[in-house]
Structure formats: C-alpha cells, structure tokens
Amino acid sequence: MRVKKKSMLPMNLNNIWGHQQPVRLDRRTLLKRAACGFGYLAFAGLCAESRSESKASSPLAPKAPHHRARAKRVIFLFMHGGPSQVDTFDYKPRLNRESGQPCPFPQPKAFGDDRAKKVPPLLGSPWPFRQRGASGLWVSELLPEIATCADDLCVIRSMHTEGQAHGEATLRMHTGASNLVRPSVGSWVTYGLGSENEDLPGFVTICPPRAHGGVQNYSSAFLPAAYQGTAIGAVDVPFTQAEIPFAKDQGLSLARQRRQLDLIQDFNREHLAGARHDQNIEGLIESFELAFRMQSEAPALMKLDDESPATKRLYGIGQEETDDFGRQCLLARRFAEAGVRYIQVSTGYKWDQHKELVTGHNKIARASDRPIAGLLKDLKGRGLLNDTLVIWGAEFGRTPFAEGEDGRDHNPQGFTIWMAGGGVRGGIAHGETDEYGHRAIAGKVHVHDLHATVLHLLGLDHERLTYRYSGRDFRLTDVHGEVVKEILA
Amino acid sequence: MFKRTGHRILVLASMLVSFSFGADVTSDTEDKEGKFWSFQPIRGVVLPEVKSLDWPRRGIDRFILAKLEEKRLAPSRDASRPTLLRRLTFHLTGLPPTLEEMETFEADSSPLAVEHVADRLLGSKAFGERWGRHWLDVARYADSNGSDENFTYYDAWRFRNYVIDAFNKDKPFDQFVREQLAGDLLPSANQKQRDEQITATGFLVLGPKVIGDDDKEQLRMDVVDEQIDTVGKAFLGLSLGCARCHDHKFDPVPARDYYALAGIFGSTETVHGNLLHRRDLSGWNLRPLGQDGETLYRDWKGYDDKLDGLKKKQEQSKSDLASLKKNVEKENAAVTSAVQPLAAANENATKISELEQNLKSLAAEIKQLSEKPPPKPPLAMAVCDREAIGDARILERGDMHRPGQVVPRGFVQVANYGRPASFSAAQSGRLELAEWLADPRNPLTARVMVNRIWHQLFGVGLVRTVDDFGRQGERPSHPELLDYLASEFIAMNWSCKKLIREIVLSRVYQLSSEHNEDAYRVDPENRLLWRMNRRRLEVEALRDSVLAISGQLDVSPAESVVANLPDQATGVGDKPRKPFPSVRRSVYLPVIRNDLRAEFQLLDFADPQTVSGRRNQTIVAPQSLFLLNSQLVRDSARLLAERLLKRAGYRNEREFVQAACREILGRPPTPGEIQFSLNYLAEADPDGSGDKEPLPSKDAALANLCQALMCSSPFLYLD
C-alpha cells in the first residue's frame, strides 16, 4: 500500500483560535476553507493588522470537538417571561390539595412594590395533570401537543438560577452572567465548533427580544464578531417581515445588482492594483461576493413555500393562533437542516402572568404548543432529532403561591426546562423541587450546570473551551458548572 | 478593536519569528529595580541622530527615521495632495473635504498650505464632534443603561456635549481629567463653570448597572467596580478589575490597591434612590444645574413624591373597594333567601360609600396636582460625595458578604511618583485621586493619552493595546517617541489640539500608504511606519460623508435626542420600536446599549459597555449587504446623482463620472475607473441574461454608479 504523503502545515491552527486540542489541516482543506466563508473576512480583518502572511481557515470552518459529540446543533426555544413549572411539567398534588391555604414557607425577598405584606395563599394548578406515553411522564393539559412527545422529553425539574428580575435571569440563561458582558451560549458554541454552512451565519436568533439584555443575549462580547448571533427579525416584527438584515435588494433585480457588483469589484481591484498589496481590500472583495451569495440564497431558505401542506399543518401554519410561531419553528428546522450550528426561537415576552394566569398561559401555550410538538415530530421524521439538541425553557419559573388573586410571581429558586434529541434520555424527569414546587431540592441543576451539559453534548468540555481576553482565560461557566451525567443517553 | 482581537494578534505576532516588536524582551522594558517600562518616570529624550537630514520635518520624524535607518529601510514617498487633504479632513473632522476646500488647497502653492488646512480644521466645530466621539468611546458613553433593565438616560447628552465642547475649546487634558473625576469638588468662578464641572462627572455615572438587582449592597459594589475598571483603563491603561478578587496576576496591582480606590468610589454617590418610585429598581444620581437649581429640584421632588403617594393611595383604595364589593356580592349570594343582617349590610354600604368618596377626592387632588407641575430644573447625571465617607474593606473573592480587613484610601502604588496619599476626612477622595492622575509626574496619564491620539491618527498606537499599558499589553514600538510626545504634551499645557497639529505636520503622517515589497519583507506589520496605514472609515465617518456628499447632512449640533423615548429605551413588550430617522451627524444619534442602530452594530461602532479605546475592524459579509441594500446608501446615491445632474455644464457621461469621483473619492478618477464606469453606463442590456425587466433609466444607472462608488474601497478606505 502506498504511503500517503503528508502535507501538513507547521502551524497549529488551534492555537490561533484558542483551542487546546491540536488539529492539523492539510493544505488542500486549508486553502479550500480559506477561500470563502461567512466569517473568513472577519478573520482577514484581524490578520490584516498583524500583517501576517499566514492564511488561516475561516473562524466558522467546522472544528473538531473535544470528545465525541452527541449533538451537532442546538435549537433553543426560549419561553420569555417564565412559564410556571407547577402548571406544566412539575406535578405537585400537595400544592393542589392545599390550594387557597396560606403559604407555609417563607417567601423570597419581595419583588415589586408593596407586595408580600401579607402571607399569600398557595395556588394549585388550574390544569389537570396526566401521565403520558410509555414513560408515564407527567404533563399538564396546558400543553396537550407537547405531551404527545413525552417519550422524547428529558425534563429537568430542579433548575435554579439567580436573579429575581427578568433582566438578570435572562442574561444568566443566555450568557451565564448578568453583571458583566459575556458571550452568549450560541457564540461559545459557534466559536468552539464553527458551522457546517459557511455561507450562512453560524448562530441565528429568530425574532429575539429587545428587552432584558436585548442584543447582549446573543452577542459575542469579546469573542470575534463572526460568532455573534444574527437576528432574523425581532420580537416586535411579524415573522413574515423578518429577514436577514439588509439581505433584500432595494429594487434592483438580482441580475442587475450582479452587474452593479461587478462594477464595484472593478473599482476595488483597481484600488488593490494601485495599493499592490492589501489584505483589507482583498477581504472586502471577498465579502461582497459572499454577501451576494447570501442574498441570492437566503431568501429561498427563508421562504417556506416549498414545504408540503402536511408539514405546514404539523406546525400549525395556516391556523391563526399558531401561524406565526409555527413559521418560526419551521424556519428553525430549515436552518438546522442547512447546517446552522445554533438556532434560537423566542416566543416573545408572553409568559409573565403576574395576574390572570389562566388566560395568559392558555394564550401563549396555544400559540406555541403545536408548533413545538410539530418541530419535534418533524425533526424526528427526518432523522434530525438524533443529532439536534432541542431545549425548551425560560429565564425562571413561577411561584406556587398566588400573586394578587390569580397570578404567579417569578421563581428562580426552582423551575423546569426540558431537552430532547441529541444525546439526552427521553421520557425521563430529572431532579425534584419541594412538595410545593418552590425550591429545587434534589438533583439540583444550576444554569451553569445546564450550560456545561449542553457543551458536553456538543462534544465540548466547558472547562477547556476558553478564550483569552483582558489577561484572563474566560469560559462560559466561569468557575462553575457540572455536567448532569444522569440525563445523558 | 483590542477588546475582541488583541490577544489574537499577539498570538499571531508571536508566530512571526523573524519579527518581534510586539514581544520585546523584558530586559528592555524593566529598569534596574525591575520596574516595568510604563511605570517608570517619563524620560526627557534627545532627538536621535539620523543620516538623511533633509527628510525630517518635525522632531517626531527623527524618531521614526532613526528606527527605519537602523533596519535599512526607506520611508515611502509623500502622499498625493488630494490623498493628504482627504486624510486630514477625515481624521480631524470626520467629514470629507468639500469641492471648494479641494480647490482652495490645490490653489495654495505656499509651503504652509498643509498648515493652513490643519489650522482651519482644528478650528472647525466638526473637530470637537470627531475627537469628542473618540473620547466618548473611552468613556463608554450611552443614552441608556443596557444591562438587565434598559432605562433611558435622558440626561446623558449633557456629558456628550460637554466632551465635544471640551475638545473644541481645547480644554487642557489635565483639567479634563480632574473635571470628570471630581468636577463637583473643584472650585468654580461662576455658575456656568460649576454646572460644566458637575456635568463632567457624568463620566462616573454613565456605566451599565444591574439596576434590578435586589441585593442593593452588591449593586453598589458592582458600580464601584465598574468605575474602577473604567478609570483604570481610561486614564492609566490598566485593568484594575482583576484585583477585586485577588492580587493582579500579571500587573503589580495588589487587592489592597483596588480596595484603596474602592474606598474613594464607595464614598461617592452614584446609585441613588429608586426609579419610578419602584423599590425593586435603583436609580442613579442626578444633580440640578442653574442658579436656583437646588431649590427648584427640591420642590419638584417634593411634588413628585406627593403625586406618587396619592397615586399609590388611589391604587390601594381601588383594590380595597373591589374586594369589598366582591365580598358583599359573595355574602349576598350566600344569604339569598334569609334575611340579611341589617347592621352588617349598612356597615358595608357605609364603607363602600366612604371609599368611593375617598377615591373621588383623590382623583380630584391628583388631577389638580398634575395640572400644575412645578418647573423642573435641567439635570445632569453626576456624582456627589456620600454623607458617610470611609475606607473600604477587602472583600474575599470580591464577595460583598465576606468583608475582611479595612484598607485606607489610596492610589495605585506601582504608578506612584512620590505624591503622598493624604485624604480629606470630609470628602470622598476623588479630588485627591484626580490630582494624582493629572500630575505631570504621573507616569501613565500623559503616555496613555498621547498614545490614544497617535492611535487615532495612524490607526495603531505606538502601544497597540491602547487601553492596556500593563504586562499583558504590548510594548511600545517607539518608546523614546512616546516619551517625547508625552513630555511635549505636558509642556504644551496638555493641549490636544497642539499635539494633533504637531503630529499631522510631521512628514511621517503625510506619507503615502503605498506598498513597498522590501520594507514589507522586513516589517510586514508596518510597526516602523515606513508608510501610512490604510484604514476604513469608521461608521460615523461613512454615514456622515454619504449624507454630506448627497447634500442631506444637517451639521447643527443637537441636545437631547432621546427625550421622546419611553422610560425603558428598549420596550419590554412587543410594541414595534419607532425608527429614528435623522440626518444629523452620527455623534448626535442615540446610543442605546443592547440595541445599537443596525449600521453601528454592523460597522464596528465602539462597544458602549466598556472602555473601547480601540474599535474592532471586522470585514464581514453583512456589512456589504448594508452597503448594497440599505436605504441610507441607496437614497444618498440617488440624491447625489440628481444633484450632479442639476449642476449645469455636464456635456457627457465622462464628465459625470469625473464629477462623481471627485465628490465621492475626493480625487479625479483614474483612466481605468473612467472606463469601467462608461462601460457600465453604456451597456444596453446590463445583465445580458434575457431579463425582461425594462432597462433602468439613464438616471437610475447614474444613481447605481454613484452607489457603486460609495461601496468601493477607494471610498471606504483612507489611503
């Protein structure tokens, strides 16, 4: 057998990107990757200043994980506002029995004005619970469609976090920190793994919230800009108008714009010829080509027209209540299929029922239940659920006692999230809150632990995924975080 | 720039074995006592000897040339006149030169022509708008809090305008430092000066704060931390924040130093009261301005509190009334057939009518009060000293709830130069700190600032890590030049304008940016400045210039631009956010943390979360999408084409192309550029794809050409 000629570059790319794991690329791969990519140009910009001749791969080029990955990508369904754990997945018979009685445990520090002057009554769940599927997982009537996927759900009932207010807790859920600006989970993941499609952003967030940290929830902070989340629309933009910013031409047909672009490139090349050597101008020329490819291809990806009626029905598209969120979930699947590494979908700030729990929760549950179940079934049907990690959760949960007459307050002390797909056990519930569903007491999972687990499932060691900034190695989990081994498949 | 990429560049630089200016050996950077270079006193330096005596124009040039000669490199040739004018005009004002300015400069054959231009630009008010913005990057200026609850900073603009004015007035930098740290404690000759100095301390208040934090002591400490971090980076080029939890790992900054400063800022009122009378939201300190500001503000606050009290009473009564009525209903339902106890019914009826009466009078009182609000004085975000002045305790691992030993207030010891740390018992110590910073003997203050100025003019600092002069930062490429500039700066009475003038009149500043293969091989990063660095326009310069060229730019200064925003600058609900159309200069656009304007986000605007002396310089595809498809660029191109057409005298397309290039690129087109443009305009079927779409009208094609020029690198980059 012929021995393959080794053509390795002496450069250790991982050093450049802050990895500790050595990966060597052969020249061909390197050149291929260096020539294009959404993020390459960001890198060229950096390189340019150092005037390094070394061409390195795009920051979005796929990178080897630290260990075998169980999931290749993440879809995070963010239930902004905080759904109530005791009304969804955390069944508490005692709470229901004692509903209306004065709350027997001390309340956390008052939140808001002049509340907590008197002991609030316990508030049992208005929604009946049933055991579902072969696993017998408890799910309430609030989410009947998700309930049909019970055997795929890995429910964590013992989540806890800091931050009695939305802003602090939302930032912690997305970035692991609230008092300092830190890269978001999606940015860390994309930094660690690159993306499978370099013609698209590696991290997208569909209709993200503007408040409670806003952009900070999907910013790359001190990581290079290539890893920042690209917002598709915003919470206050109807999904049908949501698009990749500035990817829509302003009146020129694609062919005419191509001709205009050729003219731009003529100017650029003339300038480059005069300069004789300039990596920035080279980068600019590349960036226009890539922008044009995105502009030509993204609209087709964003349009859901080629999906079958059955698929659309699955997501509740076409029905008034579920249409908007259904489209968002379907787009998430399309991004997942296209190789985007981290995708977030947000419901909007709709789960925050300080009063009128039943009306409010019913409304947003109806809008999101079917689309989410549709997403799980669709992913499964296409064989994508195996290596896609779906996460459903919010910044915190809600109190088991009443606020006012018929609302619930924020509850960071104990709440529920679930995951499904890539590498997690389906049909199980991990951890416990107390008998009222107030505080996590057993198998506690802090937000840092959740982050460590998500990275682990993606093949990344949260202690090794570091980035040096301001003289220090930073990581998503700071000095905390333990992988929740019990939930791994 | 440093924020995201500094270390990346370090790694890359260290890979270049043949060239290692970035990582000088320590023997060079420490003195006999082992003192790191940046903590050593600023040295008086003699101008170095050079061989080519006819090349240098100013002292600066001797330092540059000496190093080049050492490496046997020759500087590139001088930049062409149009290039130089464009460079100067953008660097000093952030705007392109006008046609008239180009003509005047071309016609000025005096050897002092460049000086004339420099003096004209330094004297224009656009200068302060440009250089003020550079300082606002450092001051992490924003019009909203960001962080967890993004409340609008309605009064931040006064600080913004204070900074712009300071650069226009050429306020001596040492005074500028004193005012931002302790303006409220400085003597003032009159009300105007007092107000100005108070406004300056907004510097300490502008940072992001977790104002919804329910642990208020922690919040105060976090704010102190943010202030220490900002002051450290902005004035000293030191990251002091690390020392919150432990002695600094790399720089000789022990935790004691950090808590010595924490005592000063802990004795300062920054967080203050509650927002919107909500207990869960902390407010920030505001100070009234004007002659009778204090009295007016006291009255206004009294009024505001009273109104809030009444509104709360109203809420309470409403809810009492509702539950009473509900109870009565329940009781009524329960006793349907039985005879209702008369006494109880009466009692309830009385209560209800009392409550209703009460509500009525409350409503009337609220109405009356809200109709006649007392005048509210102008307010500035500003600090004052707290009543309790005191030293801080070291906190174990920075944890508020693990207090340790008390540390007396003090300065950063490693940068000490013999000024005794004695603090007034009656004041926070900010004044003493300000004096310590603004002292000519302070080894860092002048060095850090002249390096910032150099960075803005050359695109890279002599120390590239402009916010980090510590061990993790880079070493200066020209240490003697840095010290020369610092001493000159102090000798010029800390005048930024004079220093900028000195630099732009140097020969090295006026070099061409052309590539030179020989020099490149020896110094690929151009650390020795054998040529000028080619740089992209910052987002403000890009936006302002397309507006200016197309005749849209409104150059009038602005006061508040966020007065119409709601309390929360980014709504918490899902109401669409109002767009903010504006044709003012970019420095006057709102800076909303966590919700920057799209073009600011895309084109590397300074991150307003923290000190950003050096902006990112990314080249990513979404920027190109912005240039190709944004309303701003499309509209500006169309308007420019219309303007050019209206201008009489264009006989043909060639002349149009010439005019467009002059307007957009600041120079006549090259023959190649004329050819591409004419080809583009001449093509009958521009796409050749059998597209059935009617051809763009000639006007549209001219507009497309203008847009293409606005997307082109000779426009986007300053040669």
Nearest chain A residue to B279, by CA: A113
Q: pLDDT, tens digit, for every residue of B207-262?
A: 999 998 888 888 999 999 999 999 999 999 998 987 887 777 677 888 999 999 99
Minimal C-alpha gap between A98 and chain B (Å): 22
Minimal C-alpha gap between A270 and chain B (Å): 7
Higher pLDDT among residues B357 and A239, named by residue: B357
Task: Note the pLDDT of residue A272.
Answer: 94
Residues of B in contact with A284 (CB under 8 A): 619, 624, 713, 716
Predicted confidence band of residue A248 (pLDDT cuts 50, 70, 90):
confident
Is the pLDDT at B187 greater than 70? The verdict is: yes
Task: Note the pLDDT of residue B11.
Answer: 28
For residue A298, tell me if it sits in a domain: no
Q: Answer yes or no: do B619 and A258 touch at CB < 8 A.
A: no
Task: Note the pLDDT of residue B82.
Answer: 97
β-pair partners for B403: B395
* Local structure of A401: helix, strand or coil: strand
Task: Note the pLDDT of residue A299.
Answer: 82
Q: How far apart are CA B205 and CA B430, in angstroms?
A: 14
Is the pLDDT at A8 greater than 80? The verdict is: no
Is the pLDDT at B666 greater than 70? The verdict is: yes
Task: Note the pLDDT of residue B212.
Answer: 87
Q: Which has the closest alpha carbon to A44: A24, A60, A23, A58?
A: A58
Task: Note the pLDDT of residue A303.
Answer: 87
Residues of A in contact with B4 (CB under 8 A): 220, 222-225
The mean pLDDT value for A267-295 works out to 89
Predicted confidence band of residue A32 (pLDDT cuts 50, 70, 90):
very low
Nearest chain A residue to B17, by CA: A52
For residue A26, tell me if it sits in a domain: no
ipTM of the complex: 0.90
Q: Answer yes or no: do B598 and A266 touch at CB < 8 A.
A: no
Is the pLDDT at B151 greater than 60? The verdict is: yes
Q: Which has the closest alpha carbon to B680: B664, B700, B662, B666?
A: B700
Predicted confidence band of residue B43 (pLDDT cuts 50, 70, 90):
very high
The mean pLDDT value for B131-141 works out to 98
Minimal C-alpha gap between B583 and chain A (Å): 20
Inform me whether the C-beta atom of residue B337 falls under 8 Å from chain A C-beta atoms: no
Q: Answer yes or no: do B468 and A113 touch at CB < 8 A.
A: no
Kindly report the pTM of this predicted structure: 0.83
| CA atoms within a 13 Å half-sphere pointing along the CA-CB vector of B388 | 4
Closest CB from A53, A111, A291 relative to B214: A111
For residue A195, tell me if it sits in a domain: yes
Residues of B in contact with A471 (CB under 8 A): 239, 242, 249-250, 468, 470, 472
Closest CB from A171, A261, A471 relative to B239: A471
Q: Answer yes or no: do A181 and B609 touch at CB < 8 A.
A: yes
Residues of B in contact with A298 (CB under 8 A): none
Is the pLDDT at B334 greater than 90? The verdict is: no
Task: Note the pLDDT of residue A21.
Answer: 33
Q: How many pairs of residues across A and B have Cβ atoms under 8 Å apart? A: 313
For residue A188, tell me if it sits in a domain: yes
Predicted confidence band of residue B335 (pLDDT cuts 50, 70, 90):
low
Domain of residue A229: give its range: 73-239+307-487
Is the pLDDT at B27 greater than 50? The verdict is: no
Q: How far apart are CA A60 and CA A64, in angstroms?
A: 12
Write out residues 601-660 of B within 8 Å (CB-CB) of A.
601-602, 604, 607, 609-610, 616-626, 628-631, 634
Q: Answer yes or no: do A220 and B4 touch at CB < 8 A.
A: yes
Q: How far apart are CA B697 and CA B694, in angstroms?
A: 9
Q: pLDDT, tens digit, for every residue of B283-302?
A: 999 999 999 999 999 999 99
Task: Note the pLDDT of residue B6.
Answer: 32
Is the pLDDT at B308 greater than 90? The verdict is: yes
Q: How many CB atoms lie within 10 A of CB A242?
A: 18
Looking at the structure of chain A, the number of domains it has is: 1
Inform me whether the C-beta atom of residue B349 falls under 8 Å from chain A C-beta atoms: no
Q: Answer yes or no: do A211 and B250 touch at CB < 8 A.
A: no
Q: How far apart are CA B171 and CA B496, in angstroms?
A: 8
Predicted confidence band of residue B18 (pLDDT cuts 50, 70, 90):
very low
Task: Note the pLDDT of residue A7.
Answer: 35
Q: Which has the closest alpha carbon to A330: A209, A397, A239?
A: A239
Predicted confidence band of residue A108 (pLDDT cuts 50, 70, 90):
low
Is the pLDDT at A126 greater than 70? The verdict is: yes
Predicted confidence band of residue B573 (pLDDT cuts 50, 70, 90):
low
For residue A276, tell me if it sits in a domain: no
Task: Note the pLDDT of residue B338.
Answer: 55
Closest CB from B7, B514, B628 relative to A257: B628
Q: How far apart are CA B73 and CA B168, in angstroms?
A: 38
Q: Answer yes or no: do A165 and B214 touch at CB < 8 A.
A: yes
Minimal C-alpha gap between B1 and chain A (Å): 9
Higher pLDDT among residues A27 and A348, named by residue: A348
Task: Note the pLDDT of residue A446.
Answer: 98
Q: pLDDT, tens digit, for every residue of B166-175?
A: 999 999 999 9
Query: Is B491 exposed, middle or buried, given 0-12, 13-18 or 19+ CB atoms closer than 10 A?
Result: exposed
Which amino acid is it at B575?
A: K
What string of DSSP letters covers A245-305?
A: TT-S-SS--HHHHHHHHHHHHHHHHHHHHHHS--HHHHHHHHHHHHHHHHHHHHHHHH--T
Closest CB from B146, B249, B618 relative to A45: B618
Inform me whether the C-beta atom of residue B8 falls under 8 Å from chain A C-beta atoms: yes
Q: Which has the closest alpha carbon to B170: B407, B477, B492?
A: B492
Inform me whether the C-beta atom of residue B708 falls under 8 Å from chain A C-beta atoms: yes
Residue of B628, B681, B704 for testing the chain A interface, max A β-carbons within 10 Å: B628
Is the pLDDT at A28 greater than 70? The verdict is: no
B19-39: string of b/e by CB count within 10 Å (b at 16+)?
bebbeeeeeebeeeeeebbbb
Residues of B in contact with A162 (CB under 8 A): none
Inform me whether the C-beta atom of residue B23 falls under 8 Å from chain A C-beta atoms: no
Closest CB from A163, A260, A292 relative to B708: A260
Q: How many residues belong to chain A?
A: 489
Predicted confidence band of residue B434 (pLDDT cuts 50, 70, 90):
very high
Inform me whether the C-beta atom of residue B406 falls under 8 Å from chain A C-beta atoms: no
Mean pLDDT of chain A: 85
Residue with tokens 């549709």: A374
For residue A45, tell me if it sits in a domain: no
Q: How far is CA B135 from the centre of its chain?
A: 6
Q: What CATH number did the domain enclosing A338 receive?
A: 3.40.720.10
Predicted confidence band of residue B263 (pLDDT cuts 50, 70, 90):
very high
What helix, strand, coil percent values describe chain B, rounded to 5?
55, 5, 40
Q: Answer yes or no: do A16 and B12 touch at CB < 8 A.
A: yes
Q: What is the DSSP letter of B232?
A: I
Inform me whether the C-beta atom of residue B417 falls under 8 Å from chain A C-beta atoms: no
- Lowest model confidence (mean pLDDT) among A35-44, A140-149, A432-441: A35-44
Q: Answer yes or no: do B525 and A49 touch at CB < 8 A.
A: yes
Is the pLDDT at B34 greater than 60? The verdict is: yes
Q: How far apart are CA A18 and CA B516, in angstroms?
A: 33
Task: Note the pLDDT of residue A223.
Answer: 87
Is the pLDDT at B67 greater than 60? The verdict is: yes
Both structure tokens of B236: 């000293």
The mean pLDDT value for B517-528 works out to 92
Task: Note the pLDDT of residue A224.
Answer: 79
Closest CB from B13, B147, B708 relative to A264: B708
Closest CB from A45, A237, A263 relative to B676: A263
Is the pLDDT at B395 greater than 60? The verdict is: yes
Inform me whether the C-beta atom of residue B150 falls under 8 Å from chain A C-beta atoms: yes
Q: How far apart are CA A344 and CA B146, in angstroms?
A: 21
Contact B212, B148 (CB under 8 A): yes
Inform me whether the C-beta atom of residue B704 falls under 8 Å from chain A C-beta atoms: yes
* Local structure of B50: helix, strand or coil: coil
Higher pLDDT among residues B575 and B495, named by residue: B495
The 3 state secondary structure assigned to B68-126 is HHHCCCCCCCECCHHHHHHHHHHHHHCCCCCHHHHHHHHHCCCCCHHHHHHHHHHHCHH
Closest CB from B470, B594, B621 relative to A216: B594
Closest CB from B312, B620, B687 relative to A287: B620
Write out residues 295-334 of B within 8 Å (CB-CB) of A.
312
Which amino acid is it at A294?
A: M
Both structure tokens of B363: 């409503």
β-pair partners for A298: none
Task: Note the pLDDT of residue A414.
Answer: 97
Contact A198, A286 (CB under 8 A): no
Q: pLDDT, tens digit, for every residue of A322-364?
A: 999 999 999 999 999 999 999 999 998 999 999 999 999 999 9
Is the pLDDT at B697 greater than 50? The verdict is: yes
The mean pLDDT value for A372-393 works out to 98
Angle between helix B653-665 and B631-646 (nearest 10): 130
Nearest chain B residue to A210, by CA: B570
For residue A261, tell me if it sits in a domain: no
Closest CB from B619, B631, B687 relative to A256: B687
Residues of A in contact with B317 (CB under 8 A): none
- Lowest model confidence (mean pLDDT) among A88-102, A203-217, B161-175: A203-217
Percent pLDDT > 90 in chain B is 72
Selection from A160-174, B451-465, B588-602 with the highest mean pLDDT:
B451-465
For residue A266, tell me if it sits in a domain: no
The mean pLDDT value for B424-449 works out to 97
Inform me whether the C-beta atom of residue B686 falls under 8 Å from chain A C-beta atoms: yes
Higher pLDDT among residues A479 and A113, named by residue: A479
Residue of A15, A257, A270 for testing the chain B interface, max B β-carbons within 10 Å: A270
Q: How far is CA B305 from the centre of its chain?
A: 35
Task: Note the pLDDT of residue B14.
Answer: 29
